[in-house]
Structure formats: structure tokens, C-alpha cells
Amino acid sequence: MSTTAVVERENFEELFEALRARGYESVGPTVRDSTIVYDHIETVADLPVGWTDIQEAGTYRLVRRKDEALFGYVIGPHSFKKYLFPPRHTLFTLEKTSEGVKLVDAGDPVPQYAFIGMRPCELAAMSIQDRVFGEGPFFDTEYLRRRQQVFVVAVNCVETGGTCFCTSMGTGPKALEGFDLSVTELLGDAGHRFLIEAGSPLGEEVLADLPHRAAESGEVADAERLLEQAEGAMGRSLDTGGIKELLVGNPEHPRWERVGEQCLTCTNCTMVCPTCFCATVEDTQSLDGATAERVRRWDSCFTTEFSYIHGGSLRPSAAARYRQWMTHKLASWIDQFGTSGCVGCGRCITWCPVGIDITKIAAAIRASEEKKHALA
Amino acid sequence: MASHTMPTAKPKLGVFKFASCDGCQLSLLDCEDELLAVAGAVDIANFPEASRAVEEGPYDLALVEGSITTPHDAERVIEVRRQSKFLISIGACATAGGIQALRNWKDVDDFTRVVYATPEYISTLDRSTPISVHVEVDFELRGCPISKTQLLELVAAFLQGRRPNIPTYSVCVECKGRGTPCVMVSHGTPCLGPVTQAGCGAICPAYNRGCYGCFGPMESPNTAALGHWWERQLDVPVPDLVDAFRGFNAYAEAFRTASDDYELRESRD
């Protein structure tokens, strides 16, 4: 859409100013509780300046970098999902009045969010949720009224995490679409600066507010080289060839039982997943019965209640629940929404308290399938 | 002609105490803002902690706190059940035997000899057991102490004849809901959250502490897998694993068998 601009580090602060001037509330990465979470941010100083994260299955550690990079980490336990599809949300309340029951639509004002530092995998996840919530036959108005006004500042990944596999899922490490601005951070002898591309007219407008110059061809080449390196440095990989048939064709694979022995059914993988969209509604009433409230909250296919029908849960074992989640995510999601439900962010691997690795399970099932064919 | 619609009398509530610290029944008094609403909705007929005025049974709703530790209490709880249409046991003592269930692994006579000048006056059982071991219980409200929000929800659900919204999933759901990063993953702090039932609002991890298991085992607790990770990845020694599962809910089945397994391991090592 436009040529690449360069904004120097000392002028990057102006991005926050330009967004604030347009009424946006910036949310993005910041350090809290030994991790990088997403929260309200006001200035560059709120970003995880000079921090990085080291991730492996079941472990995450925040460590100092040798430089003062603003985006020198990968992703943390939060995803931007929580702003568009809140963990808990009142849909409406009912009040008993002398004229009958009055419905009070919660319809609370929604902030106009600017998502700062959205990674390409997260952008892909949002596009998947756009499909789930916004492309019918049923529309989720709560999601849409939040989503429609979001301004996206994507940040390309020049470094990769230990559990990342976006290359396998075709979602990164460079954001190709769906952003208003996309940023690639450059450090080194030539100075700390950002290559910025606008992806929308609004993005161009915001970019015009920042002191910038046109990128030199060397700078663009540097960024391309870094992104290419990142592409080859993913901590994990997942072979997606025929994955749907592979998983759907192996419902009784012994690996499911093994993962069931390890799985805590704690729901962490589904809660940190940026595409998991399951929710349930709860109705409560005040003690005197004068008011009632309907709340929607995140649910998970790892709970007993999730598949409870009269008489019991359809998926009583951990093995059955893990199989359901993974098969939906990587296989039946394709039938349902036309894409994989996985973007390769690796959160389910890092944030599983016992380090269960979706890529290893897929690889194990594939390996035994290949062995079977080799013997046949 | 007598009307058969809408009984005018409010449901009678009784609060009964067995072996406990009183903390759970105090959560009812702690309701403060909501206490008037409770008093408006039910007739608080028997609640010695709140009022000396005691009405005779039967009661429509009984809240039973504490575990059964004496022969006298074992008889008294049967009478409470007889007097109550709907009986809810509240708190870790009433639902699992409480911290005093640690006696279940020891010889109680050793304690009475050490503690009391005249141990022969002491009439006690050698086990501390939950209410459900002695009488049928209509609902068990977990926690050490219980959550007042859950208690109010339970009373409201009882009054309105609906199912209470009291989840049985793990504490992790509450951590994630409030945005608390996992303490095990982010700094290697052992946490019982993945095997513990939600209800407290995930307080401890929000203060960078591991969960102590105050609400007892969640619906499908995989204590073996969690213990394995603590041991192998977080370097938790086996005796500490025994202690971790032997807390306020030590005698709840899943935690009991976990601590027994590790104790057996300890004796072999």
C-alpha cells in the first residue's frame, strides 16, 4: 500500500501521542509478575524495554537483554483475545419493577483500543476469531462492537521463541495483512530505529503524524534478512501435510492415552490459546429475586461440565478431552471455518503447567502412521 | 378457604457447628452488605454465633460447619439431619475432615496424653471425618474458609429452586480469568492450582504464591502428573510433596491417596 518509512527510536513515543489524539486507548506489552503481559500502556517506558523471554515446554523466564530493544521478546501468557472476547462479561440484567420485568442491556461503552505490538501469529488469530464470531450464520455483536474500532500496530518477529512454530502454520514471522501499521525493529550500529509500513488509510494518517523518512534499500534488506533468519529459527515445527486426515483417522491412537496420563485437565492451554472461543452463560439472581443477571464467561473443553449431558460427561477421561481439543484445533476446525485453528504461537506448550507439547503429539502420531505404511 | 399458594413464612435457617475454627460460619456474618438481604430472605432461627435466640427445628436449610471428631458429635449430626430438609456442609472441615484430619495418620491417644493432664476424661474418635461420612448431605460447599460469594449464591439458588453456579473446575480457570500468569511456569513456584477446585478467586497466585489447595481436589485431579512435574522439574523433595497434599483438605480422597503414595515412596527411598 505504501513505501516503508523509518522512525527513529527517539520519535517512537509520538506513536502513542498520535493514537491518543485520535481517541485510542493503547493496550500492549508490559512487564508484570515476572512476565510480559498485555495491559493498558501510556508511553514507550511502559513497554518491556530491554527484556526478553526464554520459553520451553512448561517454563517461561524473563531475562535482561544486552540492548534496549522495545520488542525484543516474543509473546507472554496473555493474548489480545481478552479485549475482544472478555473472560467474563455481563450480557444483560433484569430488574423487577412495579411495571413488570425491565431488561437492562449491559451495553457498557467499549474503549476504542489500539493494540500495540501485536505479533503476526496474533493477527492471524484475530482473523480466525473474526471468522468465528463475525461471519455468520450467527454474529456475536459483543465481539464485533469491540473489534470494529481496533487500531492494530503489528510488530514483526525478528527473534523467535523456544515454542514458536508460526512458519509451519503460515502465519509469520512477518505480518502481511490486517494491520494499520506494521513495525520491524532494527538495532545495531546504524542506530535504534523502526521500519514502519502502513496497511490502511488510517495507518497512513497516523504514520504521517510521526517524524519519519523513507527507508533506505539497505534498511529494508536488513529487515528482510532478519525476518528470514527468524523463519529458520523457530523453536518448534509442525508438519501440517494431511493433518486433518491424520488426526481424524487416529481416534484410538495409544498416544492419546499417554497424554491423558500427563494432562491435568486444568484448562490452561485453552485459556491462553488466542483462538479458543468457547464460552458458557450463567444466570444468577439476587437473594430477594429482584434482579437477575446473565453473564458470559470463558469455558473450556477440558472441564467435565463442558460435555455434560443428562447422566454424565461425554468426555470423562483426560485423554478424550485432549484428543477433542487437539483434533478440533488442527483438523475439524478446517471443516468448520476453512482454516486451521492453530496459529503456531506456542502458548499452549509454554503455559501447560506440565509441558505437554502439541507438536510432539502430532509428530508421534504421524511417525507411527508412516511406520504403519512402511510395513504395509 | 385456606390458600394453597405462596407460603408466607420465610424458610428457617439453622447454622450448626462441629469441630472447626468457626471461620466458615463467620463468613455469613462477614457478608455485611448482604447480611440484611439474607436476614430478609430467611428466618435465621438457629445461629448461636449471631444470636442467643434459638428457635426449635425443623429447619428448611441447615448450614453445617466442622468435622466429626467425638462420639457425641457423631450422634448430634444425625439429629441435625433429622431436623433439616436441606443440609449443606460448609468448609474444608465439614467436607473433608479439615486440618484436624491430620490425626488420621497418627495415634490420637498419643496426642491426648501429651495435651491433657487427665486424658481419661477425653472422649474422642481416632478419626476426623467429613459430615458426608455420617449423614446424607445435599450440597458440599468447599473452602478453608468458604467464599462468601459462593455462600450467597448457594443460599440464593436454594431459595429460588435452581442449580447453584458453583464450578468444580481448577483454580487455573480463575487465574487465567483475572490475568494472573502461571506461577509454576513463570517462576517455578510449586502450585496446587491445577488439581484444586476453584472458588477462592485464585488469591495466592495473584500474590506470586502457589495454591495451597484450600478448596480441595477439583473434578478430575491428576495429582500424579502434577507431583511428577514438581519432583522432576521443580526439584521438590518427596517429603515436601507429602506435606503439600496434607493440608486443610488432607483427608479428601484425591489428596489423601496422593500423600499416601508419596509417603510410601519416602519410606522406600
Same domain, A212 and A264: no
Same domain, B27 and B137: yes
Same domain, A299 and A181: no
What pLDDT band is residue A76 in, cutting at 50, 70 and 90?
very high
Average pLDDT, chain A: 95
- Report whether pLDDT(A267) > 70: yes
Residues A268, A276: Cα–Cα separation, whole Å: 11
Structure confidence at residue B3 (pLDDT): 43
Say if B262 falls within a structural domain: yes
What pLDDT band is residue B8 in, cutting at 50, 70 and 90?
low
Q: Which three cell numbers stand for residue A255?
A: 498416544
Residues whose CB is less than 8 angstroms from the CB of residue A36 and which lie 6 or more positions away in sequence, other chains included: A29, A30, A48, A51, A53, A62, A73, A75, A76
For residues A294-322, average pLDDT: 95
Residues B160, B43: Cα–Cα separation, whole Å: 15
Of B41, B178, B185, the CB nearest to A60: B185
Same domain, B144 and B246: no
Same domain, B185 and B229: yes
- Cβ-contact A347, A272 below 8 angstroms: yes
| Model pTM above 0.90 | yes
Of A168, A196, A231, which closes a domain? A231
Q: Which residues pair with A336 in a beta bridge?
A: none
Same domain, B186 and B206: yes
For residues A35-53, average pLDDT: 98
How many structural domains does chain B have? 2
Residues B212, A352: Cα–Cα separation, whole Å: 19
How many structural domains does chain A have? 2
- Report whether pLDDT(A160) > 70: yes
Tell me the residue length of chain A. Answer: 376
Q: Is the dihedral of CA A91, B31, B250, B237 positive or negative?
A: positive
- Report whether pLDDT(B1) > 70: no
What's the domain range around B77?
A: 12-160
Find the range with the poorest average confidence among A63-72, A101-110, B260-269: A101-110
- pLDDT tens-digit series, residues A210-259: 999 999 999 999 999 999 999 999 999 999 999 999 999 999 999 999 99
Q: Which three cell numbers stand for residue B167?
A: 464450578
Of B169, B220, B225, the CB nearest to A354: B225
Same domain, B63 and B87: yes
Same domain, B263 and B190: yes
Of A88, A287, A302, the CB nearest to B177: A88
Q: How crowded is residue A42: how many other Cβ atoms within 10 Å of its Cβ?
A: 11
Of A231, A256, A273, which closes a domain? A231
CB < 8 Å from B in window 185-244 of A: none
Same domain, A123 and A201: yes
Residues A256, A261: Cα–Cα separation, whole Å: 9
Same domain, B50 and B137: yes
- Cβ-contact A79, A124 below 8 angstroms: no
CB < 8 Å to A77, chain B: 181-182, 185-186
Same domain, A70 and A213: yes
Structure confidence at residue B31 (pLDDT): 85
Helix (H, G, I), strand (E, B) or coil at A144: helix
What's the domain range around A253?
A: 243-375
Of A60, A297, A304, the CB nearest to B219: A304
CB < 8 Å to B189, chain A: none
- Cβ-contact A115, A27 below 8 angstroms: yes
- Report whether pLDDT(A376) > 80: no
Q: Which three cell numbers stand for residue B51?
A: 444470636
Residues B192, B76: Cα–Cα separation, whole Å: 35
- pLDDT tens-digit series, residues B51-98: 888 999 899 999 999 999 999 999 999 999 999 999 999 999 999 999
- Cβ-contact A259, B140 below 8 angstroms: no
The CATH number given to whatever domain includes residue B146 is: 3.40.50.700
For residue A8, the distance in angstroms to the closest alpha carbon of chain B comes to 33
Say if A238 falls within a structural domain: no
Of B101, B129, B160, which closes a domain? B160
Question: How far from each other are the two terminal CA atoms of chain B, in whole angstroms?
Answer: 78
Q: Does A82 touch chain B (CB under 8 A)?
A: yes
CB < 8 Å to B184, chain A: 58, 353
Residues A147, A127: Cα–Cα separation, whole Å: 10
Q: Which residue has the cell 485453528?
A: A341
Q: Which three cell numbers stand for residue A354?
A: 506440565
Residues whose CB is less than 8 angstroms from the CB of residue A97 and which lie 6 or more positions away in sequence, other chains included: none
What pLDDT band is residue A137 in, cutting at 50, 70 and 90?
confident
B220:A318 CB<8 A:
yes
Residues whose CB is less than 8 angstroms from the CB of residue B154 and which lie 6 or more positions away in sequence, other chains included: B88, B139, B141, B164, B166
For residues B129-156, average pLDDT: 97
- Report whether pLDDT(A171) > 70: yes
Structure confidence at residue A1 (pLDDT): 44
For residues A188-213, average pLDDT: 96
Q: Which three cell numbers stand for residue A34?
A: 515476572
Say if B23 falls within a structural domain: yes
- pLDDT tens-digit series, residues B60-72: 999 999 999 999 9
Rounded to 5°, the CA angle B1-B7-B13 comes to: 150
Say if A236 falls within a structural domain: no
- pLDDT tens-digit series, residues B192-243: 999 999 999 999 999 999 999 999 999 999 999 999 999 999 999 999 999 9
- Cβ-contact A343, A167 below 8 angstroms: no
Structure confidence at residue A178 (pLDDT): 96
Same domain, B180 and B143: no
3-class secondary structure per residue, B55-80:
CCCCEEEEEEECEECCHHHHHHHHHH
For residues A92-116, average pLDDT: 90
Nearest to B223 by CA among B180, B252, B202, B248: B252
Say if B7 falls within a structural domain: no
- Report whether pLDDT(B2) > 50: no
